[in-house]
Amino acid sequence: MTSPETPSAKAGAERLRVGVVGTGYLGKFHARIYNDMPDVDLVGIVDVNEAAAKAVADECGCPAYTTSQDLIDKIDAVSIVVPTELHLEVARPFLEKNIHMLLEKPIAPSYEESLELVELAEKSGVIFQVGHLERYNAGVMALAERVTAPRFIEVHRLGPFVARATDVDVVTDLMIHDIDIVMELVGSPIKTLSAMGSPVITSHVDIANARIEFENGAVANVTASRVSNKKFRRIRVFEHEHYYGLDYTDQCLDIATAKRKSADDEWPEIVTERLQVEPKLPLNAELQDFINNIRTGSTPLVTGRVGLEALRVALLVKEKMAECLPL
C-alpha cells in the first residue's frame, strides 16, 4: 500500500503524472504507451542524449530533459529504462522521493544493489514493479491459470544475434524471463542447480542451459540462445494427467489430458486440444497494470522481492557456468 506522503495516493479519478527515464529501444515504447493512456499525463522524458530525449518528447508532446533532477519533482510515477549497470544510480533518487516505479529487469547487476533498491522501495511504501515483460504474455497467463503441480518443465528461448544488450550475457538478457516463469509455476525452493554456457559472438555467454531441481521433486531444463539461426520460443510443462505446450510467439497453447471414460477402463484416453489465446500487447498490459496498481494499491505481478529472487537464481546460473568455462 502507498504511504500517506506518496504523491499518487490521490483519488482514483485524478490523472497520474508519469515520466520515463531512458529512450533506448524499450524506453520510447514506454513513453508512447503512457502518452496514449486517457488517465495519465506524460510530463517528461529524460535521457543523457539530448537529441534522443527530444525526438521522443516531441513525438509525445512533452518536455525533454537530460537529468533526472529536472523531472523528479514533477511526477507521481516513473519508468526506469536505462542500462542495468545504471539502475541503482538512477532509481535511488526517485524512490527516496516516494515515487512509484516500474524498473526494467533485472533490478541491478548485483544482488546487493538489487536488495538495496527493493528495501528502499519497501521503506518508501511505493509500488515497485519489475519489468518481467513475459509475465504479461497472454499465452503465459493462460498457461499459469491451468498448471497446478508441474513435474517437468522444458523451455527454449532461441533467436538470431541482434546487436542489442550485448553488454550483458544471455542469462541476464533472456534466460531470466524463463527462470522467473518457471519459479512461479513450480512454487518450491530450489534444491540443486547445474548450468553450462559459452560465448560465441560477444565476450559474454551467448548460449546457456540450466537444469534446476526443486525440493518438491520438480525439474526444469531451461535453454537460452541469442546466436541461433531462427527464432524459437516454447515452454512445455508435464504434470499428472496433463501436458501443456505453449508457443510464446503465436500464443497457441497445446493441451493433452489423460481421461478415463469410466472407472473400469484400464488405460486412459489421451484427449488433445489446441487453444488459440487471444493475443494482446504485453508491454501495454504491463504498463496498464502498473498504473492500476498505483491507483488501487494492488500488489504487482512481479514485485521487488519476486524480481530479486529471479535475479538470485540467474546469478547462480552464471556462477555455475563460470565453473565450467575454460580459463
* Mean pLDDT for all residues in the chain: 92
pLDDT, mean of residues 33-55: 97
Q: Which of 201, 136, 195 is nearest to 164 (CA)?
A: 201
Pairing of strands 242-247, 232-239: antiparallel
Confidence of residue 267 (pLDDT cuts 50, 70, 90): confident
Exposure class string for 239-254: b at 16+ Cβ within 10 A, else e: beebbbbbebeebbbe
Cβ neighbours of residue 70 closer than 8 Å, sequence gap 6 or more: 44, 46
Domains of the chain, residue spans: 16-131, 135-280+313-324
For residue 268, the model assigns a pLDDT of: 85
165 pLDDT more than 90: no
Helix, strand, or coil (residue 60)? helix
Residue 278, all three cell numbers: 487471444
pLDDT digits (tens, 9 = 90+) for 60-80: 999 999 999 999 999 999 999
9 pLDDT more than 50: no
Sign of CA dihedral 77, 82, 87, 89: negative
Domain range 16-131, CATH class: alpha beta
For residue 265, the model assigns a pLDDT of: 76
Beta strand segments in the chain, E: 16-21, 40-46, 64-65, 77-80, 100-104, 128-131, 150-158, 190-198, 207-214, 219-225, 232-239, 242-247, 252-259, 269-276
pLDDT digits (tens, 9 = 90+) for 201-248: 999 999 999 999 999 999 999 999 999 999 999 999 999 999 999 999
Task: Classify the phi-psi angles of 187: left when phi > 0, otherwise alpha if psi is within -120 to 50, otherwise beta.
Answer: left
Cβ neighbours of residue 293 closer than 8 Å, sequence gap 6 or more: 127, 129, 299, 300
pLDDT digits (tens, 9 = 90+) for 110-157: 999 999 999 999 999 999 999 999 999 999 999 999 999 999 999 999
| DSSP code at position 37 | -
Task: Classify the phi-psi angles of 142: left when phi > 0, otherwise alpha if psi is within -120 to 50, otherwise beta.
Answer: alpha
User: For residues 59 and 84, is the Cβ–Cβ distance under 8 A?
Assistant: no
pLDDT, mean of residues 26-39: 96
Confidence of residue 11 (pLDDT cuts 50, 70, 90): very low
- pTM greater than the 0.75 cutoff: yes
User: For residues 185 and 224, is the Cβ–Cβ distance under 8 A?
Assistant: no
Domain range 135-280+313-324, CATH class: alpha beta
For residue 327, the model assigns a pLDDT of: 54
* Measured distance CA(43)–CA(50) in Å, rounded: 16
